[in-house]
Structure 1
């Protein structure tokens, strides 16, 4: 019996080649897209779950109350984890340390690496499986490292690296030597703790002493199995408040390590630009379901549209003795077989396109359906269930026909499912409209970001990734001798990252009782405003002729912090417009302000500039300047068209003064563009998904148009005999489809407005959703739909009526 069902399915497939091809193409594309998206989603949601103790591992988060808002940071003062481990027995182990981009050299070979500084506590916390070597307590001497298998291959090839000594070429200071203690298995690329090298660190005793200010970095703890992190957070926060006697309300939270990758977008993280967003995971999951749904709708529509042809077949089978159950099984087996064929094709296309996905997201994924038997079997089961659910309705529909009626060419009205097909077509173009509107809005926001005035001129501005901590004036003078260099400054601001500006503090909001404001302190030399081309709104710039401008507060902080805090230095400061407004300074020039103990006076008001991304509002900035600023990185403005030649000269000067340091630079406009990497990828994905959704939907339209014209062949012939033109016939056959698409478009408008407004809330500075976005989406989708059905309708309109009426 099954063999007979398969023979009939193959015969029917071959008889209706066009419809079969449309179904195969649509289902294969839908399944492939669903597979690719699912691979990415599963990779993201499984991040950091491979650690065996992941339910006990937490990252410490500092939460400062800023009025009604909270400021969360993964940077904590160095002593916190050690202090808590000593005080609270619920904390079994801890480790502290940054992730850094480094360069190691062995012989004549160098290789860049992502390094993670770890303490002894990291090894009982995380699963670092050694394939060679190992670590002991004495290895934590600040000059020992552990490397992964891939990095060992990269730097040493086939040579055994254990016991070898390598040099780290740094941005700062002279190269350091490190001995390799062992080789560990590769850390998965989806872990936010991904690293090629573990640097074994032993901190000085001063790092463990409780203090309000000092070095900050990410810190991780391992809690006892039965510890409640919320209750422990309350105890820890109360203790830290008593210990530090801080006037600011500060809490310590325990963020599960499993949540770090996807639930950290509201936290000031450890410099990582690779963290994801759980909202995007939900969004991509819905899109994957929608794309598969569109393909399934095509199958249902095209299968039920064959009612006339398959109805006679069903009627004849029933006359010859087949019952309804047997006919139902026939159509279900056809559906399963069809999906099985498309599933195999989609796996092949998936394997071909997976490298493209890796390139798009910038890394290989840890999950691959073709290489994991459990995932493969799970996928096969899901596809089987989808094929049953998709095929059940056409099977029940065709098996319900009465033989006497269908053999005469009549179908019961109860069996006429034209309304259902209309609903399914509306659903397809409803989804397509949502994706088109989303694509336009994302690209319009990106265009707004790229063309909005940032408050400074970002083009032709070079940023060197290093501190200019010795002979800054001599190096600056030499670089400025190049006629292609317009100006140069050294500052603590890393473009796109306000937290790199040195220090921040929370002060009471003078305009709103009970509220507070975060003020950022930014250090630079005297040419900061000139180099960035930030205009002054009031007052003056820094000037060597003023003694208050020349006060070197950084050197004073190094000598005696207590003296620095108590001294009324009258140091000259420049504030931005937001600072004037939020601090309620009606006459800012000459006003006295206090920042982290330092008392100074405002000499100028600079225009607001976007120091971070458009996700954040312009903060309050106090700019202090030293004639020779040592604790910052160079920003150099170069004449247009002279970038390559001038950069080479700057590198030569740099290497002369810092022969042992890495020279690495970026352009500020490129750095700022990377702040919107997620949005850029989202825009591209929406564009691809929109095109795919429209293509799948239009495949269905083509099939439905073909059947509509076939069923109305004689009607078209009669109309042409009675004088109907090609335009009349085209309008007759197209208007029903266009009505459905118009309904889909109208229904999609309110939901697309709501969803895109929700997405735009991520930005402090954003566009308004204009009416023309919907007009463009509507015209586009209507035009594409007309093109999709035009071939069949025009072909029918141009046909000779004699051919369609000669059998009457």
Structure 2
């Protein structure tokens, strides 16, 4: 019986190849998009999922309330917290510091020099118990007993010592930074699951860190994890720690009008925390992706329903004959569901190719490591659920409708009236729903595109075109042999006519900051504000064309003596005019800093942020970034200029690789998430429009079939092709316009919520909705015009012959 139904199904699908192809294509697009989104979501939610006892593992974070009332949270804690947690806080099973170690080079006796490897930390032995590492070689109790020891993961061990057995690696020596020798004392199995602990090399924590009393300094390299004892609440631990913090820092809090306290971030939430030190995912984005996948699947199913039900009147005779020969409603429903199942399987096969293609076209938007992640039970379960969902959702209504065919009327030739309960309004409603979703995406794509254009075209308050930035490597910054070499290189570069200007200093707009609490002690009392600072030289303002409103540039010195402030900062300290600030003194703690100039406001961060209080210092030791303005705006001449810069670099820093970046690219990278959102919305827009047009095509085909005789009569009575085409098209245009009316408030609300993330943003204007509507109408006309014109030019004799 099944074999008979399969043969009949394949014959029918082959006989109606056009509609079959449209159905397969529509479902394949929806399945491919859903599959990619499932893999992305599954990948991100698998982080730390298989960590033993993850419910009791937490990262300690710091929370601050600054004098201006702002709240900030960071993933780091002061060094003094570690010894306090080890000795004075109860309820802890393990306390594990994660202090990142930076070595420029590493080398073994038989391996070449390795540069810039990361994932190195200093920690305590309890770290390996907390994470649940498996020891492959070495003694867990003795592995980090002395400062000269290092533990490796299996993959890092094989990287350093290829081909050696694990037991042979124990006792081998690794030399870091040419002089620091460490002996391998243990090898660990790599964690076999996605996790937030990327370390591959482990060193013992130094004694200074274990006895530190510093509760004020913070470093992004110093993290702290704890594992609570069973039954101990986070409140119990935090109450003890925050009470101790208040006791130690009470005087500092009073003096600086400043408060800090600690929080515990549960491991299961770490991958989604904004203050995390590792790569994170945004839960809102992931849930948005799930929503997009659902809508795309729904649109694909609606498209299938529209195309399938459009053919039922043409299949009425086939259904009637089957019913006459004894087929029950159950048999007809099963045959339609089988047909849907077969189409779904063919769509899955096509979606494999589309998925393969999409993963390569959009590789830069795929999370790193996703393609190497496999979750076979989840993938199999999702595939079965997806095919079952599509088969039932897309096949149930057409199969039920097929059972409503009235055999007697069909055999009398009354095909149009032969289906009980068939309502064209339902199919029109489905088309409206499809175009509502499509037009919401179209409007969102337009507004997001306009906002991104605005962010890149807006005057940022400084020049940023044709500027190269070069960072001095950290190793050279610490090397006494190269102290002051940056000034030598600056002079050499300035001599070339291909280079318009050279400056040393922090980039004007970037996602990093250094902030100090500054006091202005005026007649009306002390005003304390947090001010961000950038370190610059004397050529910086000219290179970036940042206007100096009053005073002069700061003099370059070995220590910080003079400051430049921006307009926002001078107003925050109570000055009304730029000239008033010249000669005034700000205090960093008890250290006075003289204000010698005022600069015009410019954007320090991306346009999501307001312009903040900013100061410039001119201190020689902190200048580690070259800012190089090229003379010519022509791209063709830049290659020669860059070659000259590299040549001079090699003269001054012969052992360091030359690496540069155009500053415009750095600015664009600040909007990486927005670009990803834009690309995602554009792809979703194209998919929804394509699927919606396939459904519209099916409705046009159905309408043309239903009105075949009416069209024939109109042509006999003198109707033109244009008139008939317009008659068939106007109903579809109405559907698109109705969809636009529904989509407009939805898109307006959604985009206004999205734009709230930007301090500087565009105004949503009427033309954006009108443009989307015009585009939708045009696409709809192009979609239905083929069927409309085909019906209009058909010979009326053929349609009226049976009358």
| TM-score range relative to shorter protein | 0.7 to 0.9
C-alpha contact 1:476 1:488 (8 A) present in aligned 2: yes
Matches within 5 A, 1:377-388: 377-388=381-392
Q: 2:231 aligns with which of 226, 229, 233?
A: 226
SS in 1 for 2:587: strand
Matches within 5 A, 1:566-605: 571-586=561-576, 587-605=580-598
Matches within 5 A, 1:432-471: 432-459=438-465, 460-466=467-473, 468=477, 470-471=483-484
C-alpha contact 2:174 2:181 (8 A) present in aligned 1: yes
How many Å separate the matches in 2 of 1:509 and 1:696? 67
Q: CA deviation at 1:539?
A: 1.6
SS in 2 for 1:767: coil
More displaced 10-residue stretch of structure 1: 688-697 or 472-481? 472-481
What is aligned with 1:565? none
Q: CA deviation at 1:400?
A: 3.0
SS in 1 for 2:758: coil
How many Å separate the matches in 1 of 2:187 and 2:362? 30
Partner deviation per Cα, 1:373-417 (whole Å, 9 max, x = no partner): 442134213321331232222222221333323433253785122
How many Å separate the matches in 1 of 2:194 and 2:442? 30
Distance 1:495 1:57, change over 3 A: farther
Q: CA deviation at 1:192?
A: 4.5
Aligned length: 771
How many Å separate the matches in 2 of 1:159 and 1:637? 51
How many Å separate the matches in 2 of 1:740 and 1:665? 54
What is aligned with 1:553? 559
- Structure 1, gaps ≥5 residues long: 545-549, 555-570
C-alpha contact 1:577 1:607 (8 A) present in aligned 2: yes
TM-score, length-scaled by structure 2: 0.87
Partner deviation per Cα, 1:237-261 (whole Å, 9 max, x = no partner): 2321221223212121111233233
Distance 1:89 1:393, change over 3 A: same
Q: CA deviation at 1:89?
A: 2.2
Residue 277 (1) aligns with residue 291 (2): no
Distance 1:187 1:365, change over 3 A: farther
Distance 1:52 1:306, change over 3 A: same
What is aligned with 2:205? 202
Residue 63 (1) aligns with residue 55 (2): no
How many Å separate the matches in 2 of 1:655 and 1:136? 47
How many Å separate the matches in 2 of 1:88 and 1:663? 49
Q: 1:530 aligns with which of 527, 534, 542?
A: 542
Q: CA deviation at 1:34?
A: 0.6
Residue 518 (1) aligns with residue 530 (2): yes
How many Å separate the matches in 2 of 1:702 and 1:83? 71
How many Å separate the matches in 1 of 2:103 and 2:688? 40
What is aligned with 1:335? 340
How many Å separate the matches in 1 of 2:217 and 2:689? 56
SS in 2 for 1:553: coil
Q: CA deviation at 1:3?
A: 3.2
Matches within 5 A, 1:633-648: 633-640=625-632, 643-648=638-643
How many Å separate the matches in 1 of 2:172 and 2:145? 16
Q: CA deviation at 1:165?
A: 4.6
How many Å separate the matches in 2 of 1:134 and 1:786? 75
Partner deviation per Cα, 1:612-666 (whole Å, 9 max, x = no partner): 222222221222223x334643333333456544444444554555555554433
C-alpha contact 2:50 2:193 (8 A) present in aligned 1: no
What is aligned with 2:551? 539
Q: 1:94 aligns with which of 71, 93, 96?
A: 96
What is aligned with 1:244? 249
Distance 1:606 1:99, change over 3 A: farther
Residue 607 (1) aligns with residue 607 (2): no
How many Å separate the matches in 1 of 2:630 and 2:650? 19
C-alpha contact 1:497 1:612 (8 A) present in aligned 2: yes
C-alpha contact 1:109 1:155 (8 A) present in aligned 2: no
How many Å separate the matches in 1 of 2:101 and 2:315? 65
C-alpha contact 1:307 1:398 (8 A) present in aligned 2: yes
C-alpha contact 2:101 2:122 (8 A) present in aligned 1: no
What is aligned with 1:361? 366
Distance 1:103 1:316, change over 3 A: farther
What is aligned with 1:727? 722
C-alpha contact 2:62 2:260 (8 A) present in aligned 1: yes
Q: CA deviation at 1:21?
A: 1.1
More displaced 10-residue stretch of structure 1: 572-581 or 97-106? 97-106
C-alpha contact 1:130 1:182 (8 A) present in aligned 2: yes
What is aligned with 2:401? 397
C-alpha contact 2:79 2:209 (8 A) present in aligned 1: no
What is aligned with 1:253? 263
Q: 2:517 aligns with which of 505, 516, 541?
A: 505
What is aligned with 2:697? 702
Distance 1:109 1:617, change over 3 A: same
- Structure 2, gaps ≥5 residues long: none
C-alpha contact 1:441 1:769 (8 A) present in aligned 2: yes
SS in 2 for 1:76: coil
Distance 1:176 1:72, change over 3 A: same
More displaced 10-residue stretch of structure 1: 637-646 or 87-96? 637-646
What is aligned with 1:560? none
SS in 2 for 1:537: strand
Q: CA deviation at 1:418?
A: 0.9
More displaced 10-residue stretch of structure 1: 224-233 or 639-648? 639-648
How many Å separate the matches in 2 of 1:353 and 1:236? 50
What is aligned with 1:407? 411
Alignment root-mean-square deviation, CA: 3.3
SS in 1 for 2:621: coil
